[in-house]
């Protein structure tokens, strides 16, 4: 860690851009006011919940380099979050809390979003802050019915809540234009204003690039040319304040168009992602708040397949494949302050998900067609007795799957359902402003996703190197989990914070996705009973107005402890989880408007398969930087120049599924705000 910190401090590049919200400059990670944090549904300070909370402000977001434009990269600077984004055109296959990142609940203003799609779709300029909560949150927040990619997503290891901007302080417009490596050209804009009780913002972002080969040598990606792409994002939000007591209604809409090719003549793709949120909040009494939220997520993916699997020299169009997935989440909750400051929260949530696959070879051939529903009822009580905070809650889940088509034909068993009771509890003792200790315990339940059961290719194709896709597993079982963590927060002096946290997670019949050996395929399996345990230490220090720095280290041991069906897996490591992760960074504010940030992250190797014979990919160090110079300032008008070098040490590290990071790149541009 010392070597990494010295290296980071020695780099003189980096900085933070002008942010679109004029309130962001006043935000401070060390001194937070009342905010709605993920452990609760009422405004309160982070010290008033039992779980560990980290808050990333809008100002901090602007200083962090997202080399692949994925929100998971933003979270990777906090302990326990490992981002493994395959490319600018692909999703994150990292981990959180010692488990695959499908064990973290990702939310947009408290409603679940998809860990694979939304994190590469949503635009950070729309956010006011991000609240990262570590430890189980499976009572107030549900498992997300994501049926594509790696399937359902449980909040057993934590949650990340992306909070949208809401109240507009002043009319403001920001715009930027940039150019960088791989002939990357982009621009974005943001505008906010208030008209009476209506507060709104809208924005957009467009980027196109020739990009570069991001496949390992000899991998199935086999690119013949630059994999070009275009991304366009448009979004807006309006919030209407009905009175002066906080009663309000809001609607948010976002759409991403992502088109391009995968580096071969008949490997085009075209994806459209839509994310909608609507909400109503009414503090209708001094001690009661009603919240109602509903959302819609629509993920449409289309891509071409060529004949390379049958003939390595073939580039003829074989098929046009597609996935259509939609999820509608809804949540209604009532929070009541009992006694003086205790909080009772009761509510219900609902999800309706649909999932369909297709293949077109002259005519459209349907693959899988299914729907899933989930209904949850929950209650939680938080007791505050001076320095001691106690929390206990329970949830009752009803989950059902209905399958119309399985591999293009009606299935023998067309439905399944599960009823499950979950609980969560915690305690925190605030000994003083300088010392607090906490502990939390929670359970979770996750049913197999429709993709886990139905796959995208015939079961008979498993292991066939000429067939790519996801292998079906009709016999996969649901999993149950228990998470426990304990920690201490220290504040030795003003501006200096130290955190220590240990965690232990037990999973029965863990659902894990693995790479099928010697074939371009993936498969969901029950790895058996698994144990994940680890510890993390973090330091954040605001030395003065000019210097802030952080350092953290996370150790994780995750392995199979019991498997009655395949004893050879006992002792195998869980895939996608690095044993050691280090993060360091420094943020510097110089006179005359110069701001700089530099970060370094070090990860040990990860596994792709769950097998004692599996070999780990090599570990790596990733160094990023950002430099921003405000060159002109007038009343209400700011102009800045910035530069972002990514992967400064040019590490072309290998990632799962035959991907690799292409190494050093950089982009720079100008930003204007008025």
* pLDDT exceeds cutoff 80 at 30: no
Q: Are strands 469-471 and 521-526 parallel, antiparallel or unpaired?
A: parallel
Q: Give pLDDT, residue 13.
A: 29
Mean pLDDT for the stretch of residues 638-653: 96
Average per-residue pLDDT for the chain? 89
Q: How does residue 156 score in pLDDT terms, banded at 50, 70 and 90?
A: very high
Q: Of all helices (H) and strands (E), which one includes residue 74?
A: helix 71-75
Q: Give pLDDT, residue 94.
A: 93
What pLDDT, in 10s, does the model give residues 567-611?
A: 889 999 999 999 999 999 999 999 888 999 999 999 999 998 898
Mean pLDDT for the stretch of residues 410-430: 89
SS (H, E, C) 408-473: CECCCCCEEEEEEEEEEEEEEEEEECCEEEEEEEEEEEECCCHHHHHCCCCHHHCCCCCCCEEECC
More confident call, 498 vs 608: 498
Mean pLDDT for the stretch of residues 363-379: 91
Strands of 521-526's sheet in order across? 469-471, 521-526, 511-515
Mean pLDDT for the stretch of residues 236-263: 96
Residues with Cβ < 8 Å from 3, sequence gap 6 or more? none
Q: How does residue 424 score in pLDDT terms, banded at 50, 70 and 90?
A: very high
Mean pLDDT for the stretch of residues 53-58: 89
Q: Give pLDDT, residue 418.
A: 94
User: In Å, how far are 433, 499, 556, 670 from 430, measured between CA atoms?
Assistant: 7, 14, 27, 45
Q: Whole-prediction pTM value?
A: 0.91
Q: Give pLDDT, residue 458.
A: 79
Q: Give pLDDT, residue 550.
A: 96
* pLDDT exceeds cutoff 50 at 34: no
Q: Are strands 184-195 and 198-209 parallel, antiparallel or unpaired?
A: antiparallel
Domains of the chain, earliest start first = 2-673 (2.40.170.20)
* pLDDT exceeds cutoff 60 at 241: yes
And the tokens for 566? 């395949």
And the tokens for 49? 């919940």
- 3-state SS class at 75: helix
Structural contact between residues 551 and 584, judged by C-beta atoms closer than 8 angstroms: yes
**High-pLDDT (> 90) share of the chain, %:** 67
Q: What are phi and psi of 145, to 5 degrees?
A: -85, 65
* pLDDT exceeds cutoff 70 at 325: yes
What pLDDT, in 10s, does the model give residues 616-633?
A: 999 999 999 999 998 877
Q: How does residue 661 score in pLDDT terms, banded at 50, 70 and 90?
A: very high
Strands of 105-108's sheet in order across? 52-57, 127-134, 158-164, 105-108, 111-112
* Torsion sign across C-alpha atoms 95, 101, 103, 104: positive
Q: How does residue 467 score in pLDDT terms, banded at 50, 70 and 90?
A: confident
What pLDDT, in 10s, does the model give residues 501-535?
A: 999 999 999 988 888 887 778 888 888 999 999 99
Q: Using CA atoms, how far apart are residues 530 and 456, in angstroms rounded to an integer? A: 27
Q: How does residue 39 score in pLDDT terms, banded at 50, 70 and 90?
A: low
* pLDDT exceeds cutoff 60 at 297: yes
Q: Are strands 229-241 and 415-432 parallel, antiparallel or unpaired?
A: unpaired
User: In Å, how far are 304, 308, 318, 321 from 362, measured between CA atoms?
Assistant: 13, 19, 10, 12
Q: How does residue 185 score in pLDDT terms, banded at 50, 70 and 90?
A: very high
Q: Give pLDDT, residue 247.
A: 94
114 burial level (CB within 10 Å; 0-12, 13-18, 19+): buried
């Amino acid at each position: 860690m010392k070597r990494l910190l010295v290296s980071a401090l020695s780099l003189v590049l980096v900085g933070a851009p002008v942010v679109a919200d004029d309130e962001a400059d006043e935000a401070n990670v060390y001194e937070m006011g009342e905010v709605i944090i993920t452990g609760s549904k009422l405004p309160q300070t982070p010290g008033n919940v039992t779980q560990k909370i980290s808050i990333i402000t809008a100002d901090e977001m602007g200083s962090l380099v997202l080399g692949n434009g994925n929100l998971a990269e933003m979270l990777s600077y906090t302990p326990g979050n490992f981002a493994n984004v395959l490319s600018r055109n692909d999703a994150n296959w990292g981990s959180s809390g010692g488990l695959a990142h499908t064990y973290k609940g990702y939310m947009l203003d408290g409603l679940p979003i998809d860990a694979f799609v939304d994190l590469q779709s949503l635009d950070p300029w729309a956010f006011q802050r991000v609240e990262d909560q570590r430890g189980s949150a499976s009572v107030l927040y549900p498992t997300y019915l994501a049926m594509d990619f790696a399937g359902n997503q449980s909040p057993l290891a934590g949650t990340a809540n992306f909070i949208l901007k809401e109240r507009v302080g002043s009319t403001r417009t920001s715009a930027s234009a940039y150019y960088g490596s791989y002939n990357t050209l982009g621009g974005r804009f943001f505008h906010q204003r208030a008209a009476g009780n209506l507060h709104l913002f809208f924005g957009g972002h467009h980027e196109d690039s020739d990009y570069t080969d991001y496949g390992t040598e000899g991998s199935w990606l086999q690119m013949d040319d630059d994999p070009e792409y275009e991304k366009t994002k448009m979004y807006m939000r309006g919030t209407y304040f009905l009175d002066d007591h906080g009663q309000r209604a809001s609607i948010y809409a976002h759409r991403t168009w992502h088109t391009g090719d995968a580096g071969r003549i008949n490997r085009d793709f075209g994806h459209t992602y839509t994310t909608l949120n609507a909400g109503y909040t009414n503090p209708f009494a001094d001690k009661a708040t009603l919240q109602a939220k509903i959302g819609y997520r629509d993920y449409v993916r289309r891509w071409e397949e060529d004949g390379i699997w049958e003939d390595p020299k073939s580039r003829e169009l074989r098929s046009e494949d597609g996935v259509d997935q939609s999820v509608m989440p809804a949540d209604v909750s009532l929070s009541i302050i009992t006694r003086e400051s205790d909080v009772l929260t009761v509510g219900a949530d609902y999800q309706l998900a649909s999932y369909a696959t297709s293949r077109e070879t002259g005519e459209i051939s349907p693959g899988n067609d299914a729907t899933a529903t989930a209904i949850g009822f929950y209650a939680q009580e938080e007791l505050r007795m001076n320095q001691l905070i106690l929390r206990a809650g329970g949830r009752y889940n009803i989950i059902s799957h209905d399958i119309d088509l399985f591999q293009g034909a009606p299935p023998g068993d067309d439905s399944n359902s599960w009823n499950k009771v979950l609980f969560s509890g915690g305690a925190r003792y605030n000994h003083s402003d300088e010392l607090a200790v906490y502990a939390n315990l929670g359970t979770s339940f996750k049913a197999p996703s429709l993709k886990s059961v139905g796959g995208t290719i015939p079961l008979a194709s498993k292991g066939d190197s000429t067939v790519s896709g996801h292998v079906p597993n009709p016999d996969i079982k649901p999993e149950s989990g228990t998470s426990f963590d304990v920690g201490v927060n220290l504040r030795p002096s003003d501006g200096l914070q130290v955190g220590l946290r240990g965690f232990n997670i037990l999973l029965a019949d863990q659902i894990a996705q693995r790479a099928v050996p010697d074939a371009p395929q993936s498969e969901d399996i029950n790895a058996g009973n698994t144990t994940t345990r680890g510890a993390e230490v973090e330091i954040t220090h605001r030395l003065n107005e000019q210097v802030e720095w952080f350092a953290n280290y996370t150790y994780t041991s995750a392995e199979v402890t019991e498997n009655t069906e395949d004893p050879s897996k006992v002792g195998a490591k869980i895939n996608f989880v690095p044993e050691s992760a280090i993060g360091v960074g420094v943020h510097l504010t110089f006179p005359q408007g110069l701001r700089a940030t530099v970060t370094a992250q070090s990860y040990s190797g990860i596994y792709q398969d769950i097998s004692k014979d599996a070999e780990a990919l090599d570990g790596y160090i990733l160094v990023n930087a950002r430099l921003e110079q405000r060159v002109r300032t007038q009343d209400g008008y700011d102009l800045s120049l910035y530069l972002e070098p990514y992967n400064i040490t040019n590490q072309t590290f290998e990632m799962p599924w035959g991907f690799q990071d292409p190494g050093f790149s950089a982009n720079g541009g100008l930003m204007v705000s008025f």
